[in-house]
Amino acid sequence: MKVTETSLRRPVTVVVLTLALVYFGLFSYSRMGVQQTPDVDLPVVMVTTTMTGATAAVMDNNVTDVLEEQINTISGIESLSSSSYMGAAVTVVEFDLARDIDAAAADVRDKVNAAQADLPDEADQPIIAKYDIGDSPLVMFSIAGDAPYKDKVYFADKVAKVQFQSVNGVGNVSMPGMREREIRVWIDPVRLRSRGLVVSDLSNAIASKHVELPAGSLSIDRFKMDLRIEGEYSSVEELKGLPITTRNGVVIRLGDVADVEDGFEEEDSEAFVNERSAIVMSVMKQRGANEVEVCDAIVAKFNEMQGLVPEGITMQQIYNKSDFIRRSMNGVGGDIIQAVILCSLLMLFFLQTFRATFVTVISMPVCLIGSFCVLSYLGITINNMSMMAISLAVGMVVDATTVVLENIYTHMHKGLLPFDAALKGTNEVGFSVLGGALTTIGVFAPIATMGGIIGRFFYAFGITVVVTISLSLILSLTLTPFACSRILRITPPGRAAQFCDALLRSLERGYRRLLTAAVHHKTVTLAAALGIFVFGVFVAGKVGSTFSTNDDQGIFIINCELPSGTEIEETGRVMQSVADVARRHPGVMRTIISAGSGSGGESNKGSIYVQLLARKSREAQDVVMNDVRNSVAGFRDVTMNFTTFGGKDVEMVMSGAPTETLAALAQKLTAEMKTMNKLRDVETDVRLDKPQLNISIDRNMTDAMNVDVRSLSTEIQAYFGGVKAGVFKEGGYRYDIRLMARRGQRSSLEDLQIVSFKNGAGEIVQAPGLITVTKVMAPSVIKRYGRQTALTISANVTSDYSMGEAMVYIQELGKKYIPEGSGITLQPSGRTKNMQKEFARLFTALLIAISLMYVIMAVQFESFLHPFTVMFSLPLMTPGTFCLMYAMNVKLDVMAYMGIILLVGIVVNNGIILVDFINQNRLSGMDKVSAVIDAGPRRLRAILITSLSTLIGAIPAALKLSEGSESRQPMSVAIFGGLFTSTLLTLLVVPVVYLVLDNVKERLGRKLFQKALP
């Protein structure tokens, strides 16, 4: 090859370009961002609307339905779902992956604006946000201490939050446990009624007498002077004197009918770090920002802020996501180093000289480091996918180098000079090396362009492997022959080399005898191979499936739910008791409680973040989680679900009937699911268990007394839900002025009867006789899926059960309980839905990979038949892959499926090497049987080197030797098992298949020839 000859004749060029490749690779690596997963822009938009005091049913009918009706007209929607809670509604719009997220958000914004006119006046402006898959806390801080609560709130909200929001890449900053400052106007119904007033009189007075409006300007003596009307009260004491009305010449002021105080909003959340109450500050990143860079900037800002923390307040960092990301990436780096060392020892064993080993091993760091130049240029970061690709590529990058070096070494043993041996040896195998590299690239290139969520995640993986394999091909044709011509020498072997060579020669002789027997007993060989394949398929049916495997990040979440209607104080108390028990486990370091943190801010729900000790100081995360689950099982008044940031294992959506019907069916399904010992944390998100008071209006009485419903509703809402009457400004900040009755005056049914209203004539009318109160049980949330009322049934599975099996089981239960023809459907959602969709895409990618293999090999061999011979090695990977996965209790997830696809490009290389040398032997005059029996042992070392080097590269991740390797293990196990059996069986089956197909070809040729004769 011209490129090889040029590299041999221009050594300085080769050395300089190699050093430049390494230098710029290291430089590029230092500038690449670090993150856990690749940036994936999922076209998902969320619309959040709030309306204080509205029940879930009101939100569903008056807000959710209105918004969905408009949003549903947008083209390209994949799914539309909504959740209506008390006072809040969340609509999630998922678009086709081909849609641009910014364009999708703009379309949703336009439709929401169009629906605005049909929304209730009391509803707040809908908030539209783009969903970010990495929208979990990056860094968490606790703010506590003995200082007054007001000081802690001011520091958290006006100092710390502002400082963190100024950091580049920081998005939302949430603060559970913090009650914002409010000016509370505690209304007294008795005092109001005694003066002939109602709440609307107070709110109207505040709105008209505590207001600052623009006044224009004056021009005096050629100077323009702005006018400002100081119409707002400057202190809470002054606000108490705000006049409401005048009666008999006496001014009735706000302080006469209500208690005005500088306080805080209603407590709707609580937070605790261990047993201590605190304000927890969770800092999120902006969409597309690099996680580790943002974490570092946040921590740096935190260190700068230490001088701003007032006396009596402590601010502590309690969680940093970048710690795990760094440990995980360091773990992959350790895997790569271990793989390089093991591959080096393997090369030394097979090549038996340090010189030859050095020539082979030097290509690994050059190739891997050099690949960072291209990866950095393509915008790929250091993440799980790219580093996993490099880890697996360690063994593959030496394949081409080994084939070239071995052939060069053979020619040097025959007496050729190093230069001539390097040139001739490389030219002989260059086409074979090119074909092998192209087959591997032919598998990985489609992965980089695969559609769906998986395609977005594996883009970095596919590109990384394509780049490294391409570089290894170039180096094998340039650097390797150059190094061989300058470094390799024929020297007498030492004792160790003689011992290794004796072992290998003995192995070659044994293989020759076995191959000879296989060739002469073709039927037995093929029958045995078929039997092994069938056994592998049988075991495959025993291996469960799941979407993805969660990493051991040293943190899990206990989602707690108390009976609906439980007040926040009781929720916090019970969650503290649960956390106290969890902290008794020796592997638990810290608990972080966020009460009132349900999706709709429900007071009866909350989450406990359980942080664990360092991985080396405890058992596996799943073991600790199971221990804690068992230890808190004694709590009877709280439902607990254990999960990680990955969410529940199985989620199924039931839709197509009223909420009451769905809830009744779900109760039957979940009751039977809980009897299944392989399912746990079984729950449904919609239950008719929330106590609700329905207020019925006597229309005849209200009509007779001229009381309109809006005035009546406004008064009740003000007493029991509170209304914003204005804002109070101080120190450049704005604080709401909220009217509301004290808790003691809204704690019984009788309190509803003391509310007063004004009729059309301005007269005071009492509530008794106008309203009737009835207690009912209502849903705490109303769900919609595809514009139909829906609910979700979810569960986790035990380690010996799979997501796929659980999905089938729940669907069978659905057939048992859901009446036929009812129109009710039960379908996968969340991770379960993604598993179905993405597995279908992966199967398509597998078929494409196999097709590309055939095309590339047909071009390489210039034959339609030989590619079939080589591809008989593909079924031989089945028993090893699935038997090893079953033995190690590894589920078939997207990573394992991807490993199977990768095997398609790896295992055929051994077959290509065999078939290529068989053809060369036949061209040299050998008969086909002799050619087969000669080619196998001659290429045994090359086949073992290429296979074992790839196997070694997969060992560290397969054994989970590093932190964060749980998600990488399934792929490594699949590759190791499949490559192991395919290599062993290929050495016997492919030569036999070669002879069988060649015999068939000859018979067909003779028949066609005989028919052609006259």
pLDDT at 598: 65
**CA 947/CA 967 separation, integer angstroms:** 23
- Mean model confidence pLDDT for the chain: 85
| Strand ranges (E), 230-278 | 243-247, 250-253, 258-264, 270-273, 276-277
Residue 514 scores a pLDDT above 60: yes
Record the tokens describing residue 250, joined without a space.
Answer: 């006496």
**pLDDT at position 67 over 90:** yes
pLDDT in tens, 205-239: 998 998 888 888 888 877 888 888 888 888 889 99
Look at residue 134 and tell me whether its pLDDT is greater than 60: no
Per-residue confidence (pLDDT) for residue 219, from 0 to 100: 84
DSSP string, 637-682: S-EEEEE-TT--SEEEEEESS-HHHHHHHHHHHHHHHTT-TTEEEE
The SS3 of residue 250 is strand
Q: Is the dihedral of CA 854, 855, 860, 865 positive or negative?
A: positive
pTM (2 decimals)? 0.82
Tens-place pLDDT, residues 409-425:
778 878 888 888 888 88
**Torsion sign (Cα): 715, 716, 717, 720:** positive
Q: Are 979 and 950 in contact (CB under 8 A)?
A: yes
- Other Cβ atoms less than 10 A from the Cβ of 691: the count is 12
Confidence category of residue 327, pLDDT binned at 50, 70, 90: confident
Q: What is the DSSP letter of 689?
A: -
Given a cut of 60, whether residue 29 has pLDDT beyond it is yes
Instruction: Kindly give the pairing relationship between strand 88-95 and strand 44-50.
Output: antiparallel
Q: How high is the pLDDT of residue 646?
A: 64
Q: What is the pLDDT of residue 922?
A: 84
- Please check the confidence at residue 996 and state whether its pLDDT lies above 80: yes
Which residues make Cβ contacts (< 8 Å) with residue 740, sequence separation at least 6? Answer: 184, 185, 186, 187, 266, 718, 719, 720, 721, 722, 723
Kindly state the percentage of the chain with pLDDT values over 70.
Answer: 98
CA distance 94 to 785: 11
DSSP states of 793-855: EEEEE-TTS-HHHHHHHHHHHHHHHSPTTS--EEEE-HHHHHHHHHHHHHHHHHHHHHHHHHH
- Please give the CATH architecture assigned to the domain spanning 511-542+863-1013: Up-down Bundle (1.20)
Q: Can you give the pLDDT at residue 135?
A: 64
Whole-angstrom distance, CA of residue 465 vs CA of residue 447: 10
The tens digit of pLDDT for each residue in 907-925 reads 887 787 788 788 888 888 8
- As a whole number, mean pLDDT of residues 324-353 equals 83
Q: Start-end ranges of CATH 3.30.70.1430 in the chain?
A: 41-132, 555-561+573-644
- Write out pLDDT tens, residues 552-565: 888 898 988 888 88
Cα–chain center distance at 451: 17
- CATH 3.30.2090.10 spans which residues of the chain? 181-266+691-778
3-state secondary structure of 46: strand
Residue-level pLDDT at 752: 83
The beta-carbon contacts of 1008-1012 under 8 Å, at least 24 apart in sequence, are none
The band of 1014, judged by pLDDT with boundaries at 50, 70 and 90, is: low
Q: How far is CA 402 from CA 351, 479, 592, 909, in A?
A: 9, 12, 54, 13
Portions of the chain given CATH number 1.20.1640.10: 1-31+352-491, 511-542+863-1013
Q: Provide the b/e sequence for 80-89 (b: ≥16 CB within 10 Å).
A: bbbbbbbbbb
Radius of gyration of the chain from Cα atoms?
A: 36
- Cα–Cα distances (Å) from 209 to 234, 244, 247, 254, 764, in that order, read 13, 9, 18, 11, 23
Tell me how long the chain is.
Answer: 1014
pLDDT of residue 71 exceeding 80, the answer is: yes
Q: What is the pLDDT of residue 583?
A: 92
Looking at residue 1006, what is its pLDDT? Answer: 62
Q: Which residues pair with 218 in a beta bridge?
A: 225
CB 36 within 8 A of CB 56: no
Could you give the angle at the alpha carbon of 597 between the alpha carbons of 596 and 603, nearest 5°? 25
DSSP 218: E
pLDDT at 113 (0 to 100): 92
Was domain 41-132 assigned CATH 3.10.450.50? no
Q: Rounded distance, CA 708 to CA 84, Å?
A: 27
Band of residue 443 on the pLDDT scale cut at 50, 70, 90:
confident
| Packing angle of the helix pair 418-448, 894-923 (nearest 10 deg) | 140
Percentage above 90 pLDDT, the chain: 16
Distance CA 452, CA 11 (A): 47
Position 600 pLDDT exceeds 80: no
Pick 440 or 537 by higher pLDDT: 537
Q: Tell which CATH architecture fits domain 555-561+573-644.
A: 2-Layer Sandwich (3.30)
CATH architecture of 181-266+691-778: 2-Layer Sandwich (3.30)
Contacts of 437 (CB under 8 A, 6+ apart): 400, 469, 470, 472, 473
The pLDDT of residue 1009 is above 70:
no
Please give the full DSSP string across 777-789, using - where no structure is assigned.
EE-S-EEEETTEE
pLDDT at residue 132, as a whole number: 64
**Residue 610 — very low, low, confident or very high, per pLDDT cuts 50/70/90?**
very high
Q: Which CATH number fits domain 1-31+352-491: 3.40.50.1820, 3.40.50.300, 3.40.50.360, 1.20.1640.10?
A: 1.20.1640.10
The pLDDT score that the predictor gives to residue 659 is 87
CA angle 942, 945, 948 (to 5 degrees): 145
> Could you tell me the maximum CA-CA distance found in the chain, to the nearest angstrom?
132
* Mean pLDDT along residues 950-970: 81
Q: What's the CA gap between 815 and 829, in Å, rounded?
A: 18
pLDDT for residue 404:
84
What pLDDT score was predicted for residue 707? 83
